[in-house]
């Protein structure tokens, strides 16, 4: 499946559109480097359609069908100074694999951040609460990257104790 690495963000209440080019992440090592160098907290979401997620703006509680306060994500935190590179890689692999396993029919995983200050129509403080499972919910997240399927495959292998080829 060819992935489009561009999404369009719409300014609420106007016809203004901003096109954002997304980074394509091809391996777990690339993901880890991206998380470590990115200046803001990053979140991962698995879904069938980034544009649809951004347009709808909220996730559904699958237990009762109610709307969450925003889109549900999983935080991808930077490594702890006491954490080895291998244990950090395992932790990130578990995070993205667990979240992907819980996402029915997800075809794409994308990384988002809270909006930076230089996108004038969004502002600050977009982490707006917690979903029904305790996951962070974001309002109008800024997509910054797409995970290729190989990243998810590598994560699955690590989680299941299989050898991962470089």
pLDDT in tens, 69-121: 888 888 888 888 899 999 999 999 988 887 655 555 555 677 776 654 433 33
Q: Alpha-carbon distance 79 to 70, whole Å?
A: 26
- Judge whether 140 lies within some domain: yes
As for how many domains the chain has, the answer is 1
Residue 117's pLDDT is: 42
Choice between 125 and 108, residue whose per-residue pLDDT is larger = 108
* pTM of the complete model: 0.78
Residue 22 in this model has a pLDDT that exceeds 60: yes
- Asked whether residue 43 carries a pLDDT value surpassing 50, the answer given is yes
Which pLDDT score is estimated for 121?
32
- 155 is in which domain, residue-wise? 18-159
- Measured CA to CA, the distance from residue 9 to residue 18 in angstroms comes to 5
Characterize 78-114 residue by residue with b for buried, 16 or more Cβ atoms within 10 angstroms of its Cβ, and e for exposed: ebeeeeeeeebbbbbbebbbebbeebeebebbbbbbb
* pLDDT at 45 exceeding the cut of 90: no
């Amino acid at each position: 499946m060819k992935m489009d690495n561009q999404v369009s963000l719409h300014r609420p209440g106007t016809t203004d559109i901003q096109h954002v080019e997304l980074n394509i992440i091809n391996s777990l090592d690339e993901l880890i480097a991206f998380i470590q160098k990115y200046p803001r907290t990053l979140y991962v979401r698995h879904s069938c359609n980034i544009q649809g997620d951004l347009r709808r703006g909220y996730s559904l509680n699958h237990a009762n069908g109610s709307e969450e306060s925003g889109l549900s994500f999983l935080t991808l935190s930077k490594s702890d100074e006491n954490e080895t590179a291998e244990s950090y890689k395992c932790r990130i692999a578990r995070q993205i694999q667990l979240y992907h396993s819980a996402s029915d029919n997800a075809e794409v995983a994308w990384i988002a951040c809270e909006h930076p200050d230089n996108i004038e129509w969004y502002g600050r403080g977009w982490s707006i609460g917690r979903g029904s499972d305790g996951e962070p919910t974001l309002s109008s997240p800024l997509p910054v990257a797409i995970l290729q399927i190989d990243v998810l495959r590598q994560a699955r292998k690590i989680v299941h104790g299989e050898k991962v080829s470089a």
